[in-house]
Amino acid sequence: GAVVSQHPSWVICKSGTSVKIECRSLDFQATTMFWYRQFPKQSLMLMATSNEGSKATYEQGVEKDKFLINHASLTLSTLTVTSAHPEDSSFYICSARDRDGDNEQFFGPGTRLTVL
Partner 1 sequence: GENVEQHPSTLSVQEGDSAVIKCTYSDSASNYFPWYKQELGKRPQLIIDIRSNVGEKKDQRIAVTLNKTAKHFSLHITETQPEDSAVYFCAAIRGTAGNKLTFGGGTRVLVKP
Binding mask 90-109 for partner 1 (x = CB under 8 A): -x-x-x-x----xxxx-xxx
Residue 6 CB partners (closer than 8 Å, separation 6+): 21, 22, 23, 24, 92, 93, 94, 108, 109, 110, 111
Least Cα distance to 11 among 85, 92, 111, 86 occurs for: 111
Nearer to partner 1, 14 or 40 (CB): 40
Using rule CB under 8 A, residue 114 touches partner 1: no
Using rule CB under 8 A, residue 54 touches partner 1: no
Using rule CB under 8 A, residue 8 touches partner 1: no
Whole-angstrom distance, CA of residue 42 vs CA of residue 27 = 30
Tell me which residues in 12-51 interact with partner 1 (CB under 8 A). 31-32, 34, 41-44, 46, 49, 51
